[in-house]
Structure 1
Amino acid sequence: MIVPLFLNDCGIVSPLGRGRRATAAALAAGRRDGLVLRNDLVPDRTVTVGAVIGDLPAPDRTLAAFDSRNNRLMLAALTQIAQSIEAAAERYGRHRIAVVLGTSTSGIAEGEAALGRFRATGTWPESYHYRQQETGSLAEFAARALGLTGPAYTVATACSSSVKVFASARRLIRAGLADAAVIGGADTLCRMTLNGFGALQALSPTLCNPFSAHRDGITIGEGAAAFLLSAEPAAVQFLGAGETSDAHHPTAPDPEGGGARLAMCQALDDAGLSAGDIDYVNLHGTATPLNDAMESKAIAGLFDPATPCSSTKGMTGHMLGGTGGCEAAFLWLTLDPATSTGMLPPHVWDGVPDPALPPLNLVRPGTPVPDRARVAMLSNSFGFGGSNVAVVLGRGWA
């Protein structure tokens, strides 16, 4: 018998705000306060980015070697669910809680700053340690900060990183290697990422405009989300996941969306649901010409045209390795009775559909969550190299 798993708690920090209630309110309202102009990331260019505003908590001095903005962002999300994690540690034992987190940039911003100092002075900053930018730093830091001694590792599969952790952690629990898991992920703004997407000519000169006829590229953002996953019953259930790999191109998706559709089909099969059971789809929706074209084909070929869909990147930007976790958190906030505003996440754009794309039912502000006992929602995340993941969350199914 397969034991159902639940998302017992959720912490979230993003351009929409900090914490569950503030984020849920900003999400439902379609706010864009966190989309700001920066002139210090790309040489001779001002770009719009999705930023987390304000100070972030500093780690304990014993973890100074791990101190980076990326880890601080993760700590801000973890702090919100610390009590739930402690309760799980008392219930299962600290050695029985895994930590599986996703990132793509890790603390590379600290490496950039340290290298700049070295080039200017010939010496490295005393505060710099390579652990700050190691890809695996995130999970090791979180496990140490939480005092957890179960399996701990970082998933780095580009923009699908922090949602692949759902399936990875579930495998650990089903294999008997853990009883619960801290999952999620984080990514932070850095020059490497912005200049990389600039070199690909994929950056929007203004605000990203998903699925619009006028879409012209990505807006990069930052964010972190953390969940506690266990078999302890809770309002929001992790129903299913699907993972595929296109291997089509290093950066471009399969133009027909075959891998994306297969990931969604696998997630539905895993959940024991049909496409008609899904009440809302959170689209990957990066606002690049290629992504939106292939995703609209995949969605239209699988779901009823009336299925509500939206890309939340119009409010946050693309948070890269942190985006899948944060967008799963948006589903959690919408499903959880204690935090939900009762409204679906709206699709924020210019309202001009692309006639070359299959039409989708893009959510208008104020659209209510279906009023029924069982609700299921799906979220897509697609990464470079053709890494496709879909997850299904729901309430009322256990």
Structure 2
Amino acid sequence: MKPLLLSHFTATSCLGRGLQQTLDALRHGRQALKPCDFETVNLPTFIGEVVGVDDVKMAAGMADYNCRNNRLAQLGLEQDGFADAVNTAADKYGRERVGVFLGTSTSGILETELAFRERDPVTGTLPAGLNYSKTQNTYSVTDFTRQYFALSGPAVVVSSACSSSAKVFSVARRMIEAGLIDAAVVGGVDTLCLTTLYGFASLGLLSTQACRPCDVERDGISIGEAAAFALLERPSANDNTRAVLLLGIGESSDAYHMSSPHPEGLGARIAMQEALHSAGLAPTDIDYINLHGTATPSNDGAEAKGVIAVFGHDTPCSSTKGATGHTLGAAGAVEAVICALALQHGFIPGGLNTREVDPLLKLNYQLQNRSQALARVMSNSFGFGGTNCSLIFGLAQLGQQPDGESNQ
């Protein structure tokens, strides 16, 4: 595939708002997961909550989109000059030539959950103020973002569980290569709600403490929320030496089970191999792998088998979900931004909370942050039903030393 430039990117999660707070939290190993105190939820688990989402005032003319998911989306879009960058691209290419491709799993379902508390006790009718199409509908966050920037190019939401906002990079790449658009806003937004917290609890997948990916005693996930975005454009000869490129994409489907990965990591392996093939790279060209690493026994075990089958035992890897929690439909985009930061700042993020790596996984799992110049990294995102996506990112000009002061 032809590389694409991440000309701007940003992430907002429990680690903080924007790139600098995210980078600082990762470098200092800051614990942002906390005991669950969200809404009326009564579960012994930890969550990654973004502070201040309820205080966000929707932009002018966007009141119909008011829900937690879209408030977090707006908060994320306002960080790191990202909104200005999108408007600049729209002015450059034309607003019909900028696409919007976002991932989410539950969108604004919290609004419907809250509405059910107000339904008519006799008829069961929901309150008139509930606007399903602009809140709970999975397309809502893409529609909101498109209207926020007054864009008129193609717009799609991908809802493939935890691979959603990794797969949007693939959608955007196809649209750009087909000549339908010149730039794309990609990313993902997912927010805390009762459906996911109680749903994952019913599956026995929630940890009672801050999650411990790949730990010998790992026992489940910690659910988080996040909004992460990137602006994709064609690269040019004038790009900064520290600019980050999307080099490869691999997708696969396990077709094995609705909620469990293939036990031998077959789909994961295929996605990683396809990503390497599309980038024209060998496994030895990858300096670091950001694992999907959810901290469930089956997921980490299956992914490890896939990684070993492709890369062997030596490639450094870690999961950053111990820091952010599992942000579900936003996870792919959040971890893409973390990979971009790792490339630009020359470090491998250690796996927070993990104390003793499960020896059965046989991974070169990094427990501590490690300073290292990186040229190319891979990010894995695997979702329910075996919807898998691996992304490869690299620096525009290899061999440059990390710039500790630059964020973009």
TM-score by length of 2: 0.91
Q: Describe how 1:30-49 pairs up with structure 2 within 5 A.
A: 30-38=29-37, 40-43=39-42, 45-49=43-47
Match of 2:225 among 216, 222, 229: 222
Partners of 2:162 and 2:328 within 8 A in 1: yes
**Equivalent-residue separation in structure 1 for 2:194 and 2:318 (angstroms):** 28
Q: Shift of residue 36 of structure 1?
A: 3.9
Q: Shift of residue 106 of structure 1?
A: 0.2
Out of 376-385 and 224-233, give the one that drifted further. Answer: 224-233
**Equivalent-residue separation in structure 1 for 2:87 and 2:127 (angstroms):** 36
Q: Shift of residue 52 of structure 1?
A: 0.6
Out of 124-133 and 211-220, give the one that drifted further. Answer: 124-133
**Equivalent-residue separation in structure 1 for 2:33 and 2:357 (angstroms):** 25
CA-atom RMSD, angstroms? Answer: 1.8
Q: Shift of residue 395 of structure 1?
A: 0.1
Matched, 1:143 2:120: no
Q: Shift of residue 41 of structure 1?
A: 4.9
Look up the equivalent residue of 1:310 and give its one-letter code: S
Partners of 2:354 and 2:367 within 8 A in 1: no
The number of residues matched between the two structures is 388
**Equivalent-residue separation in structure 2 for 1:279 and 1:52 (angstroms):** 31
Match of 1:191 among 182, 194, 206: 194
Q: Shift of residue 126 of structure 1?
A: 5.2
- The answer for the alignment partner of 2:266 in structure 1 is 258
- The answer for the alignment partner of 2:307 in structure 1 is 299
- The answer for the alignment partner of 1:58 in structure 2 is 57
Match of 2:130 among 112, 128, 131: 128
Look up the equivalent residue of 1:239 and give its one-letter code: L
Partners of 1:41 and 1:190 within 8 A in 2: no
Look up the equivalent residue of 1:228 and give its one-letter code: L
Q: Describe how 1:66-81 pairs up with structure 2 within 5 A.
A: 66-80=65-79, 81=82
Q: Shift of residue 5 of structure 1?
A: 1.1
- CA gap of 1:366–1:47, structure 2 versus 1, over 3 A, is closer
Residue by residue over 1:2-26, the C-alpha shift from the partner in whole angstroms, topping out at 9 and shown as x without a partner, is 6531000012111111111111111
SS of 1:239's equivalent?
strand
Matched, 1:343 2:347: yes
- The answer for the alignment partner of 1:361 in structure 2 is 364
- The answer for the alignment partner of 1:22 in structure 2 is 21
Residue by residue over 1:211-251, the C-alpha shift from the partner in whole angstroms, topping out at 9 and shown as x without a partner, is 11111111111101011000144400000100000010000
- CA gap of 1:350–1:172, structure 2 versus 1, over 3 A, is closer
**Equivalent-residue separation in structure 1 for 2:317 and 2:71 (angstroms):** 32
- The answer for the alignment partner of 1:247 in structure 2 is 255
- The answer for the alignment partner of 2:7 in structure 1 is 8
Partners of 1:50 and 1:317 within 8 A in 2: yes
Partners of 1:159 and 1:381 within 8 A in 2: yes
Look up the equivalent residue of 1:102 and give its one-letter code: G
- The answer for the alignment partner of 2:331 in structure 1 is 323
Partners of 2:357 and 2:365 within 8 A in 1: no
Partners of 1:7 and 1:228 within 8 A in 2: yes
Q: Describe how 1:378-397 pairs up with structure 2 within 5 A.
A: 378-396=378-396
Matched, 1:176 2:184: no
Partners of 1:39 and 1:46 within 8 A in 2: no
- The answer for the alignment partner of 1:109 in structure 2 is 110
- The answer for the alignment partner of 2:406 in structure 1 is none
SS of 1:301's equivalent?
helix
**Equivalent-residue separation in structure 1 for 2:157 and 2:229 (angstroms):** 13
Residue by residue over 1:105-154, the C-alpha shift from the partner in whole angstroms, topping out at 9 and shown as x without a partner, is 10000110011111569664454211210011111110000111100110
Q: Shift of residue 42 of structure 1?
A: 3.6
Partners of 1:15 and 1:51 within 8 A in 2: yes
Look up the equivalent residue of 2:356 and give its one-letter code: V
Out of 123-132 and 204-213, give the one that drifted further. Answer: 123-132
- CA gap of 1:360–1:41, structure 2 versus 1, over 3 A, is farther
Partners of 2:23 and 2:341 within 8 A in 1: yes
Residue by residue over 1:196-217, the C-alpha shift from the partner in whole angstroms, topping out at 9 and shown as x without a partner, is 1111111111121111111111
Partners of 1:30 and 1:348 within 8 A in 2: yes
SS of 1:38's equivalent?
coil
Q: Shift of residue 79 of structure 1?
A: 1.9
Q: Shift of residue 349 of structure 1?
A: 2.7
Q: Shift of residue 306 of structure 1?
A: 2.4
Percent sequence identity over matched residues? 46
Out of 168-177 and 127-136, give the one that drifted further. Answer: 127-136
Q: Which consecutive residues of structure 1, in runs of 5 or more, have no partner in the other structure?
A: none
SS of 2:262's equivalent?
coil
Look up the equivalent residue of 1:128 and give its one-letter code: L
- The answer for the alignment partner of 1:332 in structure 2 is 340
**Equivalent-residue separation in structure 2 for 1:19 and 1:25 (angstroms):** 10
SS of 1:62's equivalent?
coil
Residue by residue over 1:232-279, the C-alpha shift from the partner in whole angstroms, topping out at 9 and shown as x without a partner, is 444000001000000100000000001101100000111111110101
- The answer for the alignment partner of 1:159 in structure 2 is 162
Q: Shift of residue 295 of structure 1?
A: 0.8
Residue by residue over 1:316-368, the C-alpha shift from the partner in whole angstroms, topping out at 9 and shown as x without a partner, is 111000111101110112223xxx3x32111113422223x232111232301
**Equivalent-residue separation in structure 1 for 2:125 and 2:267 (angstroms):** 47
**Equivalent-residue separation in structure 1 for 2:365 and 2:78 (angstroms):** 34
Q: Shift of residue 299 of structure 1?
A: 1.1
- CA gap of 1:3–1:378, structure 2 versus 1, over 3 A, is closer
TM-score by length of 1: 0.93
**Equivalent-residue separation in structure 1 for 2:56 and 2:357 (angstroms):** 42
